[in-house]
Amino acid sequence: MALRPTSDYMRETLFNVLGPAVEGARFIDIFAGTGAIGIEALSRGAAEAVFIENHGPAVTLIRKNLESLGIHRGATVLSIDATKALDELQARHRPQDAGFDFVYVDPPYAQAKQYERVLHWLGAVAFLSPNAKVIAEHRRTITLAEQFGALRQYRVLRQGDAALAFYAAT
């Protein structure tokens, strides 16, 4: 498959930055690929991880990975387009529901327009918790906008040819 999984080093860096806040958190992994980020969140105590992936073979791989690790609770796989999945999550959300604490966005690097589309959408949703963090993994040579709706970039970490842009609600 033509997947570009997040490197082990980048994944370790991400979760070192997020730290203990992952425990008990609700997590969304958009363009989930192998599911490694969401699975790592669950392994570090996240209460829930939603995997969004519309590439059929990758969806099958995510489900196999969850099964092989014995993860049967707290994981939801949505096999549809990213913004359609976010629309579905928005439609399900009620004001009294807990919001999502972390959203990881990692489209294929060749689909750079997906960053803007998804981050703009996330900057306007109501299902994020008040202290939610949105993290976009992108090619080091790409500069993402500093603001998408209510999301403002507060940190960028670069490693090798990749970078992580961190956003929080303003």
Delineate the domains of the chain, giving CATH numbers in brackets: 22-169 (3.40.50.150)
Q: Which residue has the tokens 């939610």?
A: 132
| Residues 67/93, Cβ–Cβ less than 8 Å | no
**163 by DSSP, 3-state: which?**
strand
Mean pLDDT of the residues in the chain: 92
| pLDDT tens, residue by residue, 79-104 | 999 999 999 999 999 888 889 999 99
Cβ within 8 Å of residue 111, ≥6 positions away: none
**pTM, 2 dp:** 0.93
Distance CA 22, CA 165 (A): 18
Q: Taking the CB of residue 161, how many other CB atoms lie within 10 A of it?
A: 10
| Residues 148/120, Cβ–Cβ less than 8 Å | yes
